[in-house]
Chain A
Amino acid sequence: DTGVSQNPRHKITKRGQNVTFRCDPISEHNRLYWYRQTLGQGPEFLTYFQNEAQLEKSRLLSDRFSAERPKGSFSTLEIQRTEQGDSAMYLCASSFNPSGTGGEQYFGPGTRLTVT
């Protein structure tokens, strides 16, 4: 399968614990995005990378959230000291955007986080 993959698919954690999610983009896609989706809503943008550089972060991304994309390949999203309000589906997407063209974003299956 050459699509975007995300692990784990489901995560249940207790409030206050740290969690880390991984996203593997489509090979050779230079841009990678993280979104969060709560029940009944459309996804909301969190952050994006061009290669290894994190170029934009949403105000939704509090200081408890951190994302990395070492070597411009896979990415990780870590949430520290989880809160019940962090319960959501975390979606990763990637695109190929040579010279600023409008690349189509391809999404992974998501990681469903439940904070108890």
Chain B
Amino acid sequence: KQEVTQIPAALSVPEGENLVLNCSFTDSAIYNLQWFRQDPGKGLTSLLLIQSSQREQTSGRLNASLDKSSGRSTLYIAASQPGDSATYLCAVRIQGAQKLVFGQGTRLTINP
């Protein structure tokens, strides 16, 4: 059974810092991995999708990496801003399945 873990559960940093969020998964047989952002009481916004054959994806100040063999992904946020405060979720799609399996998320707070 695929399990996805995100550490830490919460993170608070001052504005302007670069930071890394971690995601690990137990079964390396994945099709892809997605990072999402969720604001309180809202739905999920897709940030980055990495296919299993890819090592990283970049969008603006965000960079996501994937090491399938070790079961790890990281989301790097450069020059953090208060508007980046949200919960960040990673999810994997297992090979042969359509559903996403989510971690519990990292609640990020950027202090002005």
B58: interface (CB < 8 Å): no
Report B36-92 residues with CB < 8 Å from chain A CB: 36, 41-46, 49, 51-52, 89, 91
Residue from A41, A56, A102, A112 with most neighbouring chain B CB atoms (10 Å):
A102
**Is A105 a contact of B46 with CB atoms below 8 Å?**
yes
Indicate which residue in A44, A97, A102, A108 contacts B102 across the interface (CB closer than 8 Å): A44
Contact partner of A48 (CB less than 8 A), chosen from B36, B44, B91, B98, is B98
| One of B4, B43, B89 near A109 (C-beta < 8 A) | B43
- A residues less than 8 Å from B42 (CB atoms): 109-110
Q: Does A40 contact B (CB under 8 A)?
A: yes
Which of B34, B41, B89, B99 makes the CB contact (< 8 A) with A33? B99
Asked if A42 and B99 make an inter-chain contact with CB atoms under 8 angstroms apart, the answer reads: no
Q: From B31, B32, B44, B46, give the contact of A91 (CB < 8 A).
A: B44
Contacts of A44 in B (CB 8 A): 102
Interface size, A (range): 20 to 34
CB within 8 Å for A45 and B101 given contacts A102-B93, A104-B49 = yes
The 4 tightest CB contacts between A and B, nearest first, are: A42-B102, A45-B99, A107-B44, A109-B43
Q: Can you list 17 pairs linking A and B with CB atoms under 8 Å apart?
A: A4-B43, A33-B98, A40-B104, A42-B4, A42-B105, A43-B91, A43-B100, A43-B102, A44-B102, A45-B99, A50-B98, A104-B46, A104-B49, A107-B44, A108-B43, A109-B42, A109-B43
Known: A42-B105, A43-B89. 9 other contacts (CB 8 A): A6-B43, A31-B98, A41-B104, A43-B100, A55-B98, A102-B31, A102-B32, A105-B100, A112-B41
Interfacial residues, chain B to chain A (CB-CB below 8 A): 4, 31-32, 34, 36, 41-46, 49, 51-52, 89, 91, 93, 97-105
Give me the interface of A with B, judged by CB distance under 8 Å.
4, 6, 31, 33, 35, 40-45, 48, 50, 55-56, 58, 91, 93, 97, 102, 104-110, 112
